[in-house]
Amino acid sequence: MRTLNFIASLLAGFCAASLALAWPASAAENAETIFASAKDRILQVRLIDQAGNAKNALGSGFVIAEGGRVISNYHVVSGLVNHPGRFRAEYLTQGGDTGRLELLDIDVVHDLALLRAAELPEAHFTVRAQAPVMGERLYSLGNPLDLGLTIVEGTYNGLLKKSLYERIHFTGSINPGMSGGPTLDGNGQVIGVNVATAGNQVSFLVPAKYVSELLARGADKPMDAAAFDATVAGQLLANQQRYVGTLLGTAFAETALGGYSVPGQIADYVNCWGHTDREPRRLYHSVSYSCSTDENIFLSDELSSGAIHFSHRLWSTDDLGVLHFFHLLQNAANGDSASFGGNEESAGNFRCRSGFVEHAGLVSKTVYCMRRYKQFEGLYDVYEQAITLHDDHEALESTLTLSGVSAANAAAFASKFVEDIAWKP
């Protein structure tokens, strides 16, 4: 028995040693091997302007399942559904073959699109179920700047910790045109989908589990504009319910600004900054504190959604009279409203209501504005601004913008936000 154990442990030790020896070798199967084995399953995805019969947008994609199922980024092919009839999608293989691509399904929150091509080889990628380990060597592929298929080596640096939307931090250079291409591990399995870069080798990938989820939905029919609108609206509503619902259920972290207590870093994915404005020639000064989510959801070239931004600005003066001071605040309030993007096709104009509100003895003048998404039923962008009427020489201006939320969640969030502003000298 002992002998057996000994032999078993010897074998196990030998296997482990050979694996350890084999691992660098397989990692070093490196870019060259991976490129050679992957290149036939990676496509350039092109959006062709039908009127001019010329390419309008370029990205990458990869074959993920039988029957010509191709994954790319939603933002690469968004023109298909945002401007129906204006574009068609085509693929271009490394061998120079081209063909039509049909849009089957999307995951707008994670910027993924599932497409189908009629005549593609059956060979396809598989998704790796286990998460990579920190520092694991990864290989990103795509067509940067229309220069041809390129492979980029880099490392896995975990999931973004301060992000509203799950993203892999990939240390490697992803460039425009590689969007929608796969990032593979040393065994050629898909780890993530190239989606964005912050420059200087800081790049972001959509985790591959969302590719599996999209595939599992089993979409089989081309998506028309109406189905697209309903799908996106449903996904956006569910997404806002996820994060706004969570925020509404928890107490907002507070921060002090002068004698006021105000909502501060309300979630770890909210990034906050401070700024003091004190110029000697000015007869007032102000201290600002602003927070926002760093990411948003791409809907079209003009419109993005799913972001939170808020700021507090404490205004004070020793030299201005009360009329003069509140005239200054009035001008600031009217000039400060945020730009939300979009165009006439995607959103209506804002409509506003204003009035005086009171909470815990603190009176504020507030204005609340909403606009409707024309394509996506039940979704709104909102802007809220409140100025305290508490003192003749000091006032707190707080603004809040939420994009792509339901009317009920927006009202609940704005109420909670204003109620959390308190005078605590």
Partner 1 sequence: METLSVRRGVLELVDRNGRVEQRVVLNGNAVTIGRAYDNEFILDDLHVSPHHARISLEGDGVWRLRDLGSVNGIRLDNGRRVDELPIDGEQSFMLGLCQLRYRPADAPVPEAEPLRERRQLRRAVVILAPLLCLAAFALDADLDSYETFGALKALSVVLATLVAIVIWSAIWALIGRLFAQRLNFPGHLAVISGGLLFASVFESLSHLGAFAFAFDQALPWFDAIGVCATFVLILYGHLRLASRLHRRGALIGAVAFGILLAGAVQIKQIVYAEQFSTRPRIGFTLAAPALRVASPRPVSAFYAQATDGLTRELADDAPHANAPARSP
How many residues belong to the site for partner 1 (CB under 8 A)? 73
Does 389 contact partner 1 by CB under 8 A?
yes
**Quick one: which of 149, 156, 110, 151 has its CA closest to 134?**
156
Non-local (6+) Cβ contacts of 415 within 8 A are none
Q: Choose the binding region for partner 1 from 178-186, 234-242, 249-257, 343-351 (rule: CB under 8 A).
A: 343-351
Identify residues 344-383 at the interface with partner 1 (CB under 8 A): 344-345, 348-359, 363-372, 374-375, 380, 383
- Member of 24, 67, 84, 274 binding partner 1 (CB under 8 A): 84
Q: Which residue is associated with the tokens 């420059």? A: 199
- Segment contacting partner 1 by CB under 8 A, of 71-79, 105-113, 182-190, 336-344: 336-344
Binding of residue 293 to partner 1 (CB under 8 A)? no
Q: Which residue's CB is nearer to partner 1, number 65 or number 412? A: 412
Cβ–Cβ under 8 Å, residues 125 and 41: yes
Element housing 214 (H / E) = helix 209-216
Rule CB under 8 A: say whether 391 interacts with partner 1. Answer: yes
Q: What is the DSSP string of 360-390?
A: TTEEEEEEEEEEEBSSSTT-EEEEEEEEE-S
Of the pair 96, 344, the CB lying nearest partner 1 is at 344
Q: Measured from the CB atom, is 156 or 368 closer to partner 1?
A: 368
Nearer to partner 1 by Cβ, of 310 and 368: the residue is 368
Phi, psi of 248 (to 5 degrees): -65, -25
Shortest separation between residue 415's beta carbon and partner 1, angstroms: 5
- Long-range CB contact pairs, 319-326, < 8 A, 24+: 319/283, 319/284, 320/283, 320/284, 320/393, 322/392, 322/393, 325/284, 325/392, 325/393, 325/395, 326/395
Q: Considering only residues 132 through 191, tell me which ones interact with partner 1, judged by CB under 8 A.
A: none
Task: Write the CA distances from 43 to 46, 124, 186, 216, 381, integer angstroms.
Answer: 9, 12, 20, 22, 36
Does 35 interact with partner 1 (rule: CB under 8 A)? no
Contact region for partner 1 (CB under 8 A) — 171-179, 197-205, 249-257, 321-329?
321-329
- The minimum distance between CB 392 and partner 1, in angstroms, equals 7
Contact residue for partner 1 among 169, 338, 422, 423 (CB under 8 A): 338
Stretch that binds partner 1, among 120-128, 152-160, 186-194, 388-396 (CB under 8 A): 388-396
Considering only CA atoms, give the Rg of the chain: 26
334 near partner 1 (CB under 8 A): yes
Whichever of 129 and 360 has its CB closer to partner 1, that residue is 360
Residues 228-267 that bind partner 1 (CB under 8 A): 229
**Of 40 and 49, which CB lies nearer to partner 1 in the complex structure?**
49
| DSSP, res 251 | P
Q: Which of 32, 97, 119, 392 binds partner 1 (CB under 8 A)?
A: 392
Q: CA 371, 291, 200: angle at the middle one, nearest 5?
A: 105
283 binds partner 1 (CB under 8 A): yes
CA distance 170 to 348: 38
Which of 62, 125, 284, 376 touches partner 1 (CB under 8 A)? 284
**Residue 59, Cβ neighbours under 10 Å: how many?**
25
Give the three-state DSSP class for 142: strand
Binding segment (CB under 8 A) for partner 1, from list 127-135, 149-157, 162-170, 403-411: 403-411
110 binds partner 1 (CB under 8 A): no
Q: 84 Cβ partners below 8 Å, 6+ apart? A: 224, 225
φ and ψ at 23, to 5 degrees?
A: -60, -50
Q: Which of 237, 333, 396, 405 lies at the binding interface for partner 1 (CB under 8 A)?
A: 333
